Amino acid sequence: MRIAVLKFPGSNCDQDAYHALRDDLGIQADYVWQDETSLAGFDGVFVPGGFSYGDYLRCGAMASRSPVMDEVRRFAREGRPVIGACNGFQVLCESGILPGALLRNVHEKFVCQDVYLRAETRRSPWTEAVDRIVRIPIAHGEGRYVADAEAVKRLEDQDQIAFRYVNAVGELDQDSNVNGSTDAIAGVLNEQGNVLGLMPHPERASRAALGSTDGLTILKAFELVSA
Amino acid sequence: MPRVRVAVTLKPSLLDSAGRTVADSLTKLGFDELQGCRIGKIIDLDVESFDEARIKEMCDRLLANPVIEDYRIEGVIG
């Protein structure tokens, strides 16, 4: 198992992802610059957070049109594990790999705090090991997930909602939905379930020194898929 | 060289939190007649010649995200 950690101009969570995978999970990971046209030799992809292209035009807009994304589309189609966290989620939505979009937080504030997440499905490797409410940090200004009613219904019907923002005991409430996302959606899957996009940062919750190891329950998918 | 203007706006069904914040501020300044405010983007494109189909392609492929935005090609402005 060898994971490509993508780098765009303005990525800033690429090293967090790299070290979480290599040092905390013991998975081989290597950086891949956005201009690469082949992901041959890789088995999965981590699209990291940050402010690719300075968030110009729309968050993730330019990054999602970079050459390497054709390969990410191929990985998505072929059922290989792909995760996008924070800006990575925005990139996956902008590229059309995941449905919906991320808009400015409803209160217009940048939020940097821990959140509690509830896995809403077990059918994906990304949620398979998440057997409890997990505590994972967020840090974003534009994380309000939106999709129209029809699209949300499709997400529900096809079991594509991966995570919702909840309180510490796993209940939905208004305060826990920190950015005003539609139906408190924190993360979504593609139809096959091999691609996850989420605003929280599992790579920042990968060892005790960071305050939580809950992120590993999500990142473990890379191991589950290869096993 | 013609300059073509494109206006990109958030779909009316979506909450424009930035527009709402600006509206709140205008109301505090005493503009009581204000009923709403929405913020969009103006994109000016300098092109060799105006070809509406090509501008539309630029909008569809990058400038606007059809999930959340509408766009309007306003034409040559200079």
Q: Are B67 and A101 inside 8 Å of each other by CB?
A: yes
Q: A175 — contact with chain B (CB < 8 Å)?
A: no
How many CB pairs below 8 Å do chains A and B form together?
Answer: 38
Give the list of residues 6+ apart from residue A213 with CB closer than 8 angstroms, or none.
A24, A205, A206, A207
Give the Cα separation of A121 and B29 in Å (integer): 48
Contact list, B21 vs chain A (CB under 8 Å): 108
Q: Pairing state of beta strands B3-10 and A195-198?
A: unpaired
Hey, which residues does B7 pair with through a beta bridge? B42, B72
Between A92 and A227, name the one with better pLDDT.
Answer: A92
Note the Cα B78 to chain centre separation in Å.
18
Q: CA of B59, closest CA in chain A: separation in Å?
A: 12
pLDDT mean for each 10 residues of chain B (78 residues): 97 95 97 97 98 98 97 96
Q: How many domains does chain B have?
A: 1
- The pTM score is 0.96
Confidence of residue A139 (pLDDT cuts 50, 70, 90): very high
**CB-closest option in A65, A101, A108 to B68:** A101
Print the domain residue range for B12. Answer: 3-76
Q: Which of A55, A89, A92, A103 to mutate to test the interface with B (most CBs of B within 10 A)?
A: A103
Instruction: Compute the distance between CA of residue A164 and CA of residue B10 in angstroms, rounded to an integer.
Output: 25
Q: Which residue in the list A13, A59, A71, A86 is annotated as catalytic?
A: A86
ipTM of the complex as predicted? 0.92
Task: Give the separation between CA A74 and CA B15, rounded to whole angstroms.
Answer: 34
Given a cut of 80, whether residue A227 has pLDDT beyond it is no
CATH code given to domain A2-226: 3.40.50.880
Of B10, B15, B61, the CB nearest to A106: B15
What's the mean pLDDT in A42-59? 97
Contact residues, A window 63-122, toward B, CB-based 8 Å cutoff: 65, 93-94, 99-101, 103-108
User: Tokens representing A134?
Assistant: 């997990």
- The CATH number assigned to the domain holding B37 equals 3.30.1280.10
